[in-house]
Amino acid sequence: GVIEAIPGNHWHHNARIKQWTFVQVPESTSAIAMLKAGQADIGDVDFSLIPPEIEKGPLKFLWAMPGGYVTNSILYSGNLFSEKHPITGADLEPWKSPAYAIDRPWIGCPWGDKCPYTDTDNPPGMSDMEQARLVRWAIEYAIDRDSIVKKLFGGLALPIYSEYMGPEYPGWDANRTTSKAKVDAILKEQGLDKIPEYNVASAYDGTAWPWKVPYDLKKAEELLDKAGYPKKADGTRFEIVFNANRCEIGEVCYAVNDVIAAMLAPIGIKATIPREDYGAVISPRMRQRIQFDLVIKNGDVHSNVWPIDWPYPPVDSALSRPGWGVGFESDLLATMHLKIRAEKDFNTRVKLHLDTVDYMMYWQLYNGIVQIQKGLIYNPKKVASWEAPHAHYSNWWRPSYAKLVGQ
């Protein structure tokens, strides 16, 4: 494809580049060879190949949107907690989704007799909702984020602990914690404390759950034991499936899937990783709310550049029905989205935003993994500079702001 600058008085009439040519090169090593040979100036290649190429030279990494990262998390689709559409009031009957056809350890069913399966594996006095929450927290503790940042991304990344919060996010506080009492207070304030989703006893009353979650296999195993999933003779507790896809961080997403699966093996979770096309297979299932296997990608937050008073996206709730959603739904997330959008006071919006993070950290509907720098690899003999404004859902943007050597 060839893009040419529009002559004359246009929005970008000062465009430095008159013509920009895109060449599709499916194989990353071929793209890197083209960059080294001067046949290409800038390339979008498998991120896992970038750090070793930088070390070898002469190619360099271009942080196309300095300060901006693209996120990567585990999505717990299938946790459909909302019985009614937040705006129309229409009955959603989520228990009819295939997500609830059987009892899945990471999916909680809050409706008692409406659950289509007989729940027989909960410890005495523990609800299915609490059991699934502990499983999701166990996986959260089992992720060695620092190792992923170092070994897969060569330091060109940061850990995150939820799609909603991590380093470089506005409002990030490494010492902040959430708790059942805090979440209960938030729900009561929003008038949601009587909904079955939230009438859930905790197996860890009084526990402070951290925003900055350490790598702790001992804690992960403790939570799985508490949830009623002891190790069997073969060392496993249960099996999960990651629907692997080329996600927003690129081809390296497949490597992230493999690494996470390896990290879960020591705590007794056996993971299989079928590759499925996202657009043709996974996305339609999420749109129909019939996705129940775990997906590693991002939702709609995408990056750390959301303002601290911003509403989290409607796709994390039933607000987006009948359109695309991440595949989990919560009345609290729908309520907070609508309230923050309508709220005129900045400080109130900030409080509601952070309350939403506290709720999501407690329930762990996202396990954050990593956020990588938005950028490309380039030949320094060809590119002199790059100045681009931030753009949501873009890893790089506006080549007209680039300056090529010799131009």
How many angstroms separate the CA atoms of 131 and 395, rounded?
37
At residue 406, the pLDDT reads 60
CA 304 → CA 229, 249, 300, 339, 374, distances in Å?
35, 14, 11, 21, 11
How many angstroms separate the CA atoms of 138 and 129, rounded?
14
Residue 401 has pLDDT above 70, yes or no: no
Residue 71 has pLDDT above 80, yes or no: yes
At residue 176, the pLDDT reads 98
pTM for the model stands at 0.93
More confident residue, 406 or 361: 361
Structure-token pair, residue 372: 């990588």
Provide, rounded to the nearest whole percent, the portion of the chain with pLDDT above 90. Answer: 71
Answer for the pair 64, 396: CB distance below 8 angstroms, yes or no: yes
For residue 140, give the nearest of 56, 246, 224, 244 by alpha carbon. 224
Strand, coil or helix: 311: coil
At residue 11, the pLDDT reads 63
Q: How confident is the model at residue 108 (pLDDT cuts 50, 70, 90)?
A: very high
Q: How confident is the model at residue 286 (pLDDT cuts 50, 70, 90)?
A: very high
For residue 138, give the nearest of 231, 213, 243 by alpha carbon. 213
Supply the mean pLDDT for the chain: 91
How many angstroms separate the CA atoms of 272 and 265, rounded?
11
How many angstroms separate the CA atoms of 49 and 166, rounded?
25
How many angstroms separate the CA atoms of 324 and 292, rounded?
15
pLDDT tens-digit series, residues 134-186: 999 999 999 999 999 999 999 999 999 999 999 999 999 999 999 999 999 99
Q: Which amino acid is at 100?
A: Y
Answer for the pair 296, 257: CB distance below 8 angstroms, yes or no: yes
Q: Which residues pair with 296 in a beta bridge?
A: 74
Q: Which amino acid is at 167?
A: P
Instruction: Count each helix (H run) and each strand (E run) in the chain, helices first.
Output: 10, 15
Within the chain, what is the greatest distance between any pair of CA atoms?
A: 74
Q: Which amino acid is at 236?
A: T
Across 46-51, average pLDDT = 89
How many angstroms separate the CA atoms of 333 and 338, rounded?
9
At residue 13, the pLDDT reads 54
How many angstroms separate the CA atoms of 375 and 395, rounded?
6
